[in-house]
Structure 1
Amino acid sequence: MEKIWTSDADAPGPLIIAEIGTSHRGSIERARELIDAAVESGAECVKFQHVYADEIIHPETGMVPLPGGDTPLYEVFRSLETGSSFLEAAKSHAEGRGIGFLCTPFGERSLRELVQLGCRIIKIASPELNHIPLLEKIAQNEVSAVLSTGVSRLADIEEALTIVQKNRTALLHCVTSYPAPEEEYNLFLLPHMSALFGVPVGISDHSLDPLLVPLASIYFGGACIEKHFTLDRQGGGLDDPVALPPGEFTAMSRAVRHWAVRPREELYAFLVDTYGTERMERVFGDGKKVLAPSERANYGRTNRSIHATADIKPGDVLDTSNIAVLRTEKKLRPGLHPRYMKVIPGRTACRHIPDGEGVLWEDIH
């Protein structure tokens, strides 16, 4: 794995990533301001998202519940399409400030553009962990991958790791809920997953407390802490309501650096003293990798499946002009697993598949 996982000598402990996401709202000036604030707040890396709406969801997805309320997500994603020149400028500014740069692609076009920008480490969000065609392209480009594992089962993680190269991969344990209930984090999983898969494991934390989950993850040897970052929780970014503003991010960074070099028993005593034994036991969990209660209803919907991208009539041939691997979300019907994109093109429809709906085996010959 590349040096992004190795903290500087002056910054012991796990790598701290400020997830800027779409908090820049399409403004490169605001993006630079966010990067500068992240540097001052103790982050060692910033993460952006390379958004093309058509790579993520269908226009018929409708309203999606997010931290800021029900959101017309396709239209919002369209408004956040910045193109690669924006990310090139953000990457240059981050590197000029001496901080790492990560970015999340959502499809093959955005991945290709990030590779062309010289991004050698790619962050894959939890809903794309089962985007098999995207993972295959990552492997073909021989870039390193950081994979979030929210709304997933062990088999999903194992399948992803058989595609990307393990020696160039790290995992981020995650609960894909906004905000994520702290008691569902089950941090006992971190050493179990690291031992099972033989890769570094950190956390992507969507809970609201700036210290609880990050410090508890250190107790279990977490390799990385990713937290959403914003200048203002009312800033209008999709994830701003669950993000840390600079003051809270700074407090987290300082606490992480302090406790990363202290004996584990002292950290445990601090956590119990601060949060209580019962609360800590709930956050620690039992170490079994299962879907968190807040994720269960989203499994198969938040992650990817094969959807129609045009109105498909009986007798039509299915190919990349009328099907795609997309998130389903709440309104549409989920389709077949993305692994079947190897065999679906060339088949013919045996019944009508409405534009946007998931493609099922009974739909095709």
Structure 2
Amino acid sequence: MGNKTFTVNGTVYGSENVLVIAELGTSHGGSPEKARELVDAAADAGADCIKFQIVYADEILHPNTGDVDLPGGRMRLYDTFKKLEVDISFYRDLKGYVESRGLLFLASPFGMRSARELWSLKPGLLKIASPELNYTGLLTELASYGLPALLSTGVSRLSDIETALELFPPERACLLHCVTAYPAPEGDYNLRVLRNISSLFGVPVGVSDHSLDPELVPSLAVVMGAVVIEKHFCLSREDSGLDDPIALTPQDFKRMVQAVRRVSVLGAEATLDALKQEQGEDTVEAVLGDGVKRLARAERANYLRTNRSVHANRDIQAGETLVPEDFAVLRTEKILRPGLHPSWESRLVGRKTTRFIPSGEGIVFEDLI
């Protein structure tokens, strides 16, 4: 059975023409000059597509989320996101610059505002980050745009993937296998799962890779059928971007691109044999895994916390009747309790509370009459 392909703007991506994405995220720090420098470096390193993140803190976290461990250290993430907010015109200009370099522009939205602003830019494709894979309201909005979509599957179970794919037709969806850990251990990747989830769901697959090795996971992913490879990109791992400590420098990103392209030249079997000789058979087998979709060891503690659930926007007293402004679908992280699945968002209005719900806490069934 041949690998499934993913089409964007008329270009077909497959095992012979893998789509390579440089994830710049918010590493520009709000500077147009730094953003252009990153785009130029990624283009020169061989990227096909440049990805950003359209961040509004209130769409992602509650202020009471507290400190979060990130690659650059422990920080108050809500405040950090607030500082990274820029007007959509920032990304409009960047989209023009990216396309002037002959590359695809891509961005992740995290809520309705950023989704609709992104849609106003007329992108060629969409990206849903792993924590938003269960955010059914956002997925419904994005699916209505009719664009090809990359859906990251870190910190998810098969049931989460199945629910998300009910909203996107197979011809427009590509699943990106991911391990939600920074950095992610190569031995957690279980890349044999790629062929299995592609067959199970009838969609093309790729990998969003947070491991540190420039070549091992990307090369093996393509051997296993990946048609998309995404990797964080930085000018230096000493820079101040949130993901810069685990990102690839231009030199390493170029190595990765060359390794990915080499698979289509050598073929899957010859590449696999070469990697076993270079890296050792035990190392390669550890990365390939058994192909059973499960939460990776490095991300198990993040399930139901990195993902979205329904949280109180304010202190809510017992006996109050909920209105839309009272709650939001947010990432829980480590301090707050997780709430109801995001699919409950549309069913909470008009319900009465049975007890006090502190601002930021997840709203659970016991809170409601």
TM-score range, shorter chain: over 0.9
Query: For structure 1, which segment, 116-125 or 96-105, has the greater mean C-alpha deviation from structure 2 after superposition?
Result: 116-125
The Cα shift of 1:66 comes to 0.7
Work out which of the residue numbers 186, 192, 215 in structure 2 matches 1:188. Answer: 192
Matches within 5 A, 1:46-125: 46-125=50-129
**Corresponding residue SS for 1:77:** helix
Aligned to 1:283: 287
| Secondary structure of 1:157's aligned partner | helix
AA partner of residue 223 (structure 1): V
1:144, distance to aligned residue in structure 2 (A): 2.4
Q: Name the SS for the 2:266 alignment partner.
A: coil
Contact 1:311 1:355 in 2 (8 A): yes
8 Å Cα contact 2:183/2:246 also seen in 1: yes
1:315 aligns with 2:315: no
Task: Give how far 1:5 is off.
Answer: 8.7
Match of 2:329 in 1: 325
1:348 correspondence with 2:339: no
**Following the alignment from structure 1 to structure 2, what is the Cα–Cα distance between the partners of residues 140 and 251?**
38
CA contact (8 A) 1:127 1:304 kept: yes
CA deviations 1:93-122 (Å, max 9, x no partner) are 000100001100000110000001112411
Q: Which SS does the other structure have where 2:320 is aligned?
A: coil
The one-letter amino acid paired with 1:142 is G
Residues 1:303 and 2:317 are matched in the alignment: no
Q: CA deviation at 1:4?
A: 5.8
SS in 2 for 1:295: helix
Task: State, as a whole percentage, how many aligned pairs show the same letter.
Answer: 53
* 2:224 pairs with 1:220: yes
1:300-322 Cα offsets, whole Å, 9 max, x none, are 00000000001101122212211
> Could you say what secondary structure the match of 1:278 adopts?
helix
Aligned to 1:158: 162
Partners of 1:104 and 1:124 within 8 A in 2: yes
2:276 and 2:359 mapped to 1: Cα distance?
Answer: 53
- Which residue of structure 2 lines up, in the alignment, with residue 16 of structure 1? 20
Task: Tell which deviates more after alignment, 311-320 or 29-38.
Answer: 311-320
* Counterpart amino acid of residue 46 in structure 1: I
CA distance in 1, matches of 2:86, 2:292: 40
Partners of 2:264 and 2:212 in 1: CA distance: 21
1:201 aligns with 2:205: yes
The corresponding residue for 1:363 is 367
CA distance in 2 between partners of 1:349 and 1:281 (Å): 52
- Cα distance in 2, alignment partners of residues 158 and 319 from structure 1: 30
Cα deviation, residue 157, structure 1: 0.1
- The number of residues matched between the two structures is 364
Q: 1:33 to 1:5 in 2, by over 3 A?
A: farther
Is the CA contact 1:187–1:285 (under 8 Å) kept in the aligned structure 2? Answer: yes
Decide whether the 8 Å contact of 2:7 with 2:13 is kept in 1.
no
* 1:229 is aligned to 2:272: no
Aligned counterpart, 1:238: 242
Helix, strand or coil at the partner of 1:37: helix
Gaps spanning 5+ residues in structure 1: where? none
Query: Quick check: 342-351 or 14-23, which moved more?
Result: 342-351
Deviations 1:57-96 (A, max 9, x none): 0000000011111111000000111121011011110001
Q: 2:205 touches 2:226 (CA, 8 Å); kept in 1? A: yes
User: In 1, are the aligned partners of 2:135 and 2:329 still within 8 Å (CA)?
Assistant: yes
Structure 1 residue corresponding to 2:8, chosen from 3, 6, 9: 3
Counterpart secondary structure, 1:359: coil
Which residue of 2 is the match for residue 255 of structure 1? 259
TM-score, with length taken from structure 2: 0.96
Q: Distance in 2 between matches of 1:230 and 1:43?
A: 13
Could you give the per-residue CA deviations for residues 228-260 of structure 1, whole angstroms, max 9, x where no partner exists? 000111110000000001000011111211222
CA distance in 1, matches of 2:200, 2:287: 21
Give the deviation of 1:332 after TM superposition.
Answer: 0.4
Pairwise CA distance, 1:7: 6.1
- Contact kept, 8 Å, 2:8 with 2:125, in 1: the verdict is no
2:22 counterpart letter in structure 1? A
2:187–2:283 Cα contact (<8 Å) kept: yes
In 2: Cα distance, 1:275 partner to 1:238 partner? 30
Equivalent position amino acid for 1:3 in 2: V
- Return the alpha-carbon distance in structure 2 between the equivalents of residues 219 and 124 of structure 1: 24
Code of the residue aligned with 2:51 in structure 1: it is K
Q: What SS does the aligned partner of 2:89 have?
A: helix
Q: How is 1:171-182 mapped onto 2 (pairs within 5 angstroms)?
A: 171-182=175-186
Give the gaps of 5 or more residues in structure 2.
1-5
Which residue pairs with 2:3 in the alignment? none
Q: Give the Cα separation in 2 of the matches to 1:274 and 1:187.
A: 18
AA of the residue aligned to 1:62: G
